[in-house]
């Protein structure tokens, strides 16, 4: 349930960024792409494909086959996050021949590049805000919770690293082709590319060790980031990684990423000061403004304001910071708290 805020919201909160994702943007209206849907009376909204949703008699809303929003909720859930857990030696793994075929199918076609170039150009012409392009446009797909999910793939990284190496070689090869074809066409129109949504953190620790990251992820992320920086001068690359990833920040910087988001400092018990010290001069921190699991939902408007101002003051020291909430602004959050959060940052 991620919102793509309209321009009036961006204006009211003085937001500096617009997004391009999967053919849509919030830089201007695209009325032909959006359709009214009220989530069974609980939330008036516009969605891309209302036919994907189905309301049951008990108030539950189904999305596709596996996701459900129970009565009274505002988010969709899947059992095990949609990822069955199988820790046996016979746990399923993707067939590398099929992976290669899927990558072939995911190569950008000429008409896709032309359409994306036109969209990016129109976005650039329509706004003075920074433009973020998401990873779906270049089909990046590596992740510690990818193939088989967090109940399988991290185990494969330890028990069969040679297999994972071969898998990542395939993925990187095809991602580089897409980058080399797309970036020369769009780089003048975008400022930031989110290269991957790769959640390495739990509430307390990493899903896999920094050693696993350095061996099986860092070399490939480095190749992808280096390609973007060579082909798109001035464009910054972003890694989205939730949870307690403080102990991974050194390796993320070595991977060539410019920005890390969402800066979930309450996870793992490292302070805002520690996050800033670890990243200073090497990584831009994007997020971290308010504890989204405690202060934002349960604190007062004043408590939200004071925490946002305190964290922004620390994280923004000597630049290298983009203010924002740690994670998503859910539908049930009091709007006064959201306004207070952004006002706190503006008033520094």
Residues 6+ apart with CB under 8 A from 315: 263, 272, 275, 276, 285, 288, 321, 323
CA distance 143 to 152: 12
Nearest Cα to Cα of residue 252 among 213, 195, 215: 213
**Residue whose token pair is 């793939």:** 153
- In the three-class reduction of DSSP (H, G, I as helix; E, B as strand; rest coil), residue 251 is classed as helix
Q: Concatenate the DSSP letters of all residues of 212-241 into one string.
A: HHHHHTHHHHHHHHHHHHHHSTT-EEEEE-
Residue 177: both structure tokens together: 């082709």
Per-residue tens of pLDDT for the chain, all 348 residues? 888 999 999 999 999 999 999 899 999 999 999 999 999 999 999 999 999 999 999 999 999 878 999 998 999 988 766 666 766 667 678 899 999 999 999 999 999 999 999 999 999 999 999 999 998 888 767 899 888 788 889 988 998 999 999 999 999 999 999 999 999 999 999 999 999 999 999 999 999 999 999 999 999 999 999 999 999 999 999 999 999 999 999 999 999 999 999 999 999 989 999 999 999 999 999 999 999 999 999 999 999 999 999 999 999 999 999 999 999 898 889 999 999 999 999 998
Cα distance between residue 171 and residue 308, in whole Å: 39
Q: What is the pLDDT of residue 2?
A: 86
Residues in the chain: 348
CB 317 within 8 A of CB 288: no
For the chain, which residues make up each domain, given as ranges? 7-30+85-261
How far, in Å, CA of 339 to CA of 308, rounded? 11
Question: What letter does residue 109 receive in the DSSP assignment?
Answer: P
Helices (H), the chain: 7-13, 96-106, 110-126, 153-159, 161-186, 210-216, 218-231, 249-254, 272-279, 295-298, 301-315, 335-346
* Burial of residue 319 (number of CB atoms within 10 Å: 0-12, 13-18, 19+): exposed
Secondary structure (3-state) at 321 = strand
Cis peptide before 262 (omega within 30 of 0): yes
User: What pLDDT shows up at residue 84?
Assistant: 66
How far is it, in rounded angstroms, from Cα 246 to Cα 300?
28
Cα–Cα distances (Å) from 215 to 132, 150, 207, in that order, read 29, 18, 15
| Confidence (pLDDT) at 65 | 78
Q: What is the CATH number of domain 7-30+85-261?
A: 3.20.20.210
């Amino acid at each position: 349930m991620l919102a793509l805020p309209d321009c009036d919201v961006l204006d009211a909160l003085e937001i500096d960024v617009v997004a391009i994702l999967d053919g849509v943007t919030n830089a201007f209206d695209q009325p032909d792409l959006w359709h009214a849907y009220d989530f069974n009376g609980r939330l008036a909204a516009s969605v891309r494909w209302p036919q994907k949703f189905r309301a049951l008699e008990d108030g539950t809303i189904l999305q596709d086959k596996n996701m459900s929003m129970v009565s009274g909720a505002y988010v969709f859930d899947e059992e095990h996050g949609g990822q069955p857990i199988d820790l046996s030696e016979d746990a399923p793994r993707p067939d590398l021949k099929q992976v290669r075929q899927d990558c072939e199918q995911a190569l950008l076609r000429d008409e896709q590049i032309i359409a994306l170039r036109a969209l990016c150009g129109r976005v650039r012409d329509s706004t003075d805000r920074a433009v973020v392009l998401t990873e779906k446009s270049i089909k990046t797909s590596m992740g510690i919770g990818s193939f088989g999910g967090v109940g399988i793939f991290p185990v494969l990284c330890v028990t069969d690293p040679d297999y994972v190496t071969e898998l990542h070689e395939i993925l990187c090869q095809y991602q580089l082709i897409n980058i080399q074809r797309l970036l020369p066409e769009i780089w003048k129109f975008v400022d930031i590319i989110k290269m991957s949504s790769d959640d390495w953190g739990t509430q307390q620790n990493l899903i896999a060790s920094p050693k696993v990251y350095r061996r099986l992820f860092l070399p490939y992320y480095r190749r992808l980031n280096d390609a973007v920086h060579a082909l798109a001068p001035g464009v910054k690359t972003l890694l989205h990684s939730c949870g307690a990833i403080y102990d991974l920040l050194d390796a993320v910087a070595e991977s060539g990423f410019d920005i890390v988001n969402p800066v979930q400092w309450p996870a793992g018990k490292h302070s805002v000061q520690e996050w800033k010290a670890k990243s200073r001069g090497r990584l831009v921190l994007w997020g971290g403004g308010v504890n989204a699991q405690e202060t934002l939902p349960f604190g007062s408007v004043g408590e939200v304001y004071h925490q946002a101002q305190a964290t922004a003051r620390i994280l923004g020291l000597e630049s290298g910071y983009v203010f924002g909430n740690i994670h998503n602004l859910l539908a049930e959050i009091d709007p006064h708290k959201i306004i207070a959060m952004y006002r706190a940052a503006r008033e520094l």
